[in-house]
Amino acid sequence: MSENPEKHHQIEIYPHTHQKRISSRRPLAVWLVVLLLGAVYLALSHAVALSWRDNGRSSASSPPQAVCVQPAALFPSDADGKLEEAYGHISSDAFRSKTIERLSGAVQIKTETFDDLGEVGEDRRWDVFFGFYDYLEKTFPAVHQTLRVEKINTHGLLYTWQGRDSNGLDAAYRKPTVLMAHQDTVPVPDDTIDAWTYPPWSGAYDGTFIWGRGASDCKNQLIAILEATELLLQHGFQPKRTLLLSFGFDEESFGYHGAGNLSAVIHDRYGDDGLAVVIDEGAGFENVWGTLFAKPGTAEKGSTNVEVTVRSPGGHSSVPRDHTSIGILSELITQIEATQYPARLDERNPYFAQLQCGATHAAAFPPKLRKLLARHRPSNASPDHPGHPDPLAIEAAKQGPEIKYLLQTSQAVDIVAGGVKVNAMPERAKAVINHRVNIGETTQVVYDRLTRIAGGVARKHNLTLHAFDGQDEADSILLVAPHSSESSPISPADGSGVSPFSVLAGSVRAIYGEETIVTPGIMTGNTDTRFFWDLTKHIFRFAPGYDPEDQVGGLRGIHTINEKVNVNNHINAVKFFFLFVRNIDEAEV
């Protein structure tokens, strides 16, 4: 643990300055007195510093100890010649051209999912996943010959590599590892195809990037996992711990068909808390405060979509009412957008941990944030009442919207509908508002605020308010929340002992060097891991690929045009999975 540099400074500098003032011509007595005074001063200031730390939580000049401990770079101890050779092979030109071909091939298979898909087996649009599986089977022969492959709900893929010791005496140390990714991609709207530099299903390689829908969200992750597994199999690795690969096929539209069913099968087999660790797609790397951070997501914000419907009388528009349903809905939306949810940094929020990591390890950490961080107190807020303004959160949010929404509930009016005819006043107008709920708050915060705002508008227009009560009548404003989930449990992320987090962090530092700081991260979006909360506390949403030469990092163009992945970044992801599987196999977690 690095100590506070200012403290060293204080202890060392006084004897030094005192010595400087002492001229050799002065009598010994004076010299002794000065030394004595110096010693007394030191002892006193030390005592003051100690009591200061005991009383307060932590002062600006003494951040708490044992924060953001970084495990050493972690390499497997069972040095095995063949596996070391395989690890080296990942960096070779031969492997590079092979994996470009394999990832490009995967991108070329159009596996879009849509929000309006029907049942598997009925809606023919699911059938693209048969072709995708055939491609995987022929591209990774060792995986498909050696591992048990099960198709869950037709297209969900569950691979089991049975660990040797799974039934042995130390089985408690050998819960399975799960590596996840999804086979599907978001659709490419037809009218955007022309805007792509390379066509979205081309898998084109331009010397640096592979282009196409799914190239970075997240066929790269799926292929990297399979590449690493294939190499481990080919080079004689025999896991002590069971390794599961779980690939859903509708992550981009809720995930029930895929991950929902996969997790149910895994749960039947291994039970509550039956897994050692889950790694799924997620956050990657960030260069900030002069430091490279890897940010495996240890939590997801909550989310809820609220439908707002205004029902008011119709009639001929030649004799209109002053405010139609559309006008009233607009007034409501304007009021909702007029204020935002407060920025608030709960101490359990992984971004709080990142600030602590920054204060501890980043040379260019902003002094203002450092000061506010040292003064931060656990908020007096309850989950449903945000409490006083939070100066640390407000200052941190100034770094930009990407940071702000790590520590603030978001609201976005994304869908609006109403009106059918130009000469008829609409009897209904409806909007859907998407929210991502801050750590430490609940969806109830959102419902309470919308109820209050809608109540005012309803009174003004003499309408009845039905807020989340399931009722519906004419002349009313209705609030309904068909989809909601609270924020996820927070995965433990202590780098000081042996834990899934420290194995992950040690593997990252083995690949990228020990100047890389691994901090917990937070996801503003959801992943398939939401079906795995009961299965383990140790869930990490992590994109392990990074190219130090390309600071833009991963996740380029996801959900929009020109999605692409840097091949160096992809190759480092293969290294990560290769190393992580071996490291976690040895760890007693």
Binding site for ligand NAG (CB under 6 A): 119-120, 153, 256-257, 260-261, 264, 462, 475
Query: Judged by CB, which is closer to ligand NAG: 78, or 119?
Result: 119
CB 259 to ligand NAG: min, Å: 8
Residue 359 touches which member of Zn ion, ligand NAG, none, C-beta under 5-8 Å by kind: none
Residue 218 touches which member of Zn ion, ligand NAG, none, C-beta under 5-8 Å by kind: Zn ion
Query: Judged by CB, which is closer to ligand NAG: 220, or 261?
Result: 261
Quick note: the x/- pattern for Zn ion over 241-260, rule CB under 5 A, is: --------------------
Query: Judged by CB, which is closer to ligand NAG: 261, or 438?
Result: 261
Strand-pair partners of 484: 304
CB 399 to ligand NAG: min, Å: 38
**DSSP 8-state secondary structure symbol assigned to residue 420:** -
CB 563 to Zn ion: min, Å: 11
Query: Judged by CB, which is closer to Zn ion: 281, or 346?
Result: 281
- The continuous run of DSSP H or E covering 79 comes out as none
Query: Judged by CB, which is closer to Zn ion: 215, or 581?
Result: 215
Residue 167 touches which member of Zn ion, ligand NAG, none, C-beta under 5-8 Å by kind: none
- The dihedral region occupied by 455, where left means phi > 0, alpha psi between -120 and 50, and beta the remainder, is alpha
Residue 443: which residues within 8 A CB-CB, separation 6 or more?
A: 302, 304, 435, 437, 481, 484, 486
Residue 534 touches which member of Zn ion, ligand NAG, none, C-beta under 5-8 Å by kind: none
Q: Of 362, 180, 174, which is closest to residue 276 (Cα–Cα)?
A: 174
343 in helix, strand or coil?
Answer: strand
Residue 462 touches which member of Zn ion, ligand NAG, none, C-beta under 5-8 Å by kind: ligand NAG
Query: Judged by CB, which is closer to Zn ion: 250, or 281?
Result: 281
Residue 586 touches which member of ligand NAG, Zn ion, none, C-beta under 5-8 Å by kind: none
In angstroms, what CA-CA distances link 61 with 51, 53, 65, 302, 371? Answer: 13, 10, 12, 35, 9
Residue 575 touches which member of ligand NAG, Zn ion, none, C-beta under 5-8 Å by kind: none
Q: How do 539-542 and 277-283 pair as beta strands?
A: parallel
Is 85 annotated in the active site? no
CB 419 to ligand NAG: min, Å: 23
497 in helix, strand or coil?
Answer: coil
Give the range of 12-20, 47-55, 205-213, 215-223 binding Zn ion by CB under 5 A: 215-223
Query: Judged by CB, which is closer to ligand NAG: 130, or 256?
Result: 256
Q: Helix 93-108 crosses helix 219-234 at what angle (to 10 degrees)?
A: 130
Nearest residue to ligand NAG, by Cβ distance, number only: 260
Query: Judged by CB, which is closer to ligand NAG: 298, or 325?
Result: 325
Is 286 annotated in the active site? no
Quick note: the x/- pattern for Zn ion over 271-300, rule CB under 5 A, is: ----------x-------------------
Q: Of 135, 147, 416, 163, which is closest to residue 270 (Cα–Cα)?
A: 163
Residue 530 touches which member of ligand NAG, Zn ion, none, C-beta under 5-8 Å by kind: none
CB 250 to Zn ion: min, Å: 11
Residue 256 touches which member of ligand NAG, Zn ion, none, C-beta under 5-8 Å by kind: ligand NAG
439 in helix, strand or coil?
Answer: coil
By CB under 5 A, the count of residues binding Zn ion is 3
CB 424 to ligand NAG: min, Å: 21
Nearest residue to Zn ion, by Cβ distance, number only: 217
Answer yes or no: are the C-beta atoms of 212 and 201 closer than 8 Å.
Answer: yes
Please give the backbone phi and psi of residue 33, each rounded to the nearest 5 degrees, phi first: -60, -45
Number of Cβ within 10 Å of residue 61's Cβ equals: 16
Under rule CB under 5 A, residue 136 binds Zn ion = no
Number of Cβ within 10 Å of residue 111's Cβ equals: 23
Query: Judged by CB, which is closer to ligand NAG: 261, or 356?
Result: 261
> What is the rounded distance in angstroms from the CA atom of residue 31 to the CA atom of residue 22?
7
Residue 165 touches which member of Zn ion, ligand NAG, none, C-beta under 5-8 Å by kind: none
Joined together, the tokens standing for residue 329 give: 């809905």
Under rule CB under 5 A, residue 217 binds Zn ion = yes
> What is the rounded distance in angstroms from the CA atom of residue 297 to the CA atom of residue 284?
8
Query: Judged by CB, which is closer to ligand NAG: 260, or 386?
Result: 260
CB 249 to ligand NAG: min, Å: 10
CB 206 to ligand NAG: min, Å: 38
Query: Judged by CB, which is closer to Zn ion: 218, or 328?
Result: 218
> What is the rounded distance in angstroms from the CA atom of residue 29 to the CA atom of residue 36?
10
CB 121 to ligand NAG: min, Å: 9
CB 539 to ligand NAG: min, Å: 17
CB crowding 509-543: b at 16 or more within 10 Å, else e: bbbbeeebbbbbbbbeebbbbbbbeebbbbbbbbb
CA angle 510, 514, 520 (to 5 degrees): 90
**DSSP 8-state secondary structure symbol assigned to residue 188:** -
CA angle 477, 482, 485 (to 5 degrees): 125
Set 184, 300, 427, 528: catalytic member: 184
Residue found by looking up tokens 């002492």 in the block: 22
Residue found by looking up tokens 């997620």 in the block: 282
CB 348 to Zn ion: min, Å: 25
The binder of Zn ion chosen from 152, 157, 180, 218 (CB under 5 A): 218
Residue 257 touches which member of ligand NAG, Zn ion, none, C-beta under 5-8 Å by kind: ligand NAG
What DSSP letter does each residue of 537-572 carry, written as one string? S-EEEE-----TT-TT-S-BTTTSSS-EEEHHHHHH
Set 112, 230, 251, 281: catalytic member: 251
Under rule CB under 5 A, residue 112 binds Zn ion = no
CB crowding 448-462: b at 16 or more within 10 Å, else e: ebbeebbeebbeebe
Query: What does the chain come to in residues?
Result: 589
Binding site for Zn ion (CB under 5 A): 217-218, 281
Q: Write out the catalytic residue numbers.
A: 184, 251
